[in-house]
Structure 1
Amino acid sequence: MKTMTCSQLGGPCTQEFHGETADDIIHQQDQHLKDAVAAGDTAHEPARKDIKGRWLHPKKSMDWYNNTKQAFANLPVD
């Protein structure tokens, strides 16, 4: 199990996400951003917009994804 924060994934806060894979953590952060924006948290809106728009640019999105997976791989196990 490893831990990453919302800010490590491009978000504005220190909410921690725990998972066995980078994909686990990415999914948790996606849900966190959805929930925060739905609750009216404007600080999370730019990150949510980035995630929604990221897949419109496949090269950029794959760079982000691969960088996130590498950052996850470099983390120590909790």
Structure 2
Amino acid sequence: MKTMTCRQLGGPCDLEHRGESADDVINAQDKHLKDAEKAGDEAHLPARKEMKGRWRHPKKSLGWYKDMKQAFADLPES
């Protein structure tokens, strides 16, 4: 199990997402950003907009995805 923060994934806060894989924490970040948007959290809107763009254009965003997978792989087990 590893941990990445919202900030490490491109967001504005230090909420921790834990998962067995990079995909686990990326999906948790997506949910966090959706929830923040619904709650009217203005600070998270730019990150939410970027995440929506990545889901719509996955090939274009492959660099970000590879970077996050590598950052996750480099983390120590927690």
Normalized against structure 1, the TM-score is what? 0.94
Normalized against structure 2, the TM-score is what? 0.94
2:59 is equivalent to residue 58 of structure 1: yes
Q: Which runs of 5+ in 1 are unaligned?
A: none
Give me the CA root mean square deviation.
1.0
Once the two structures are aligned, what percentage of the paired residues are identical?
64
Q: Which runs of 5+ in 2 are unaligned?
A: none
- 1:25-62: CA deviations, max 9, x gaps? 00000000000010000000000000111243623x10
- d(CA) in 1 for partners of 2:33, 2:69: 19
Counterpart residue number, 1:44: 44
Counterpart residue number, 1:5: 5
SS at match of 1:9: coil
Size of the alignment, in residue pairs?
77
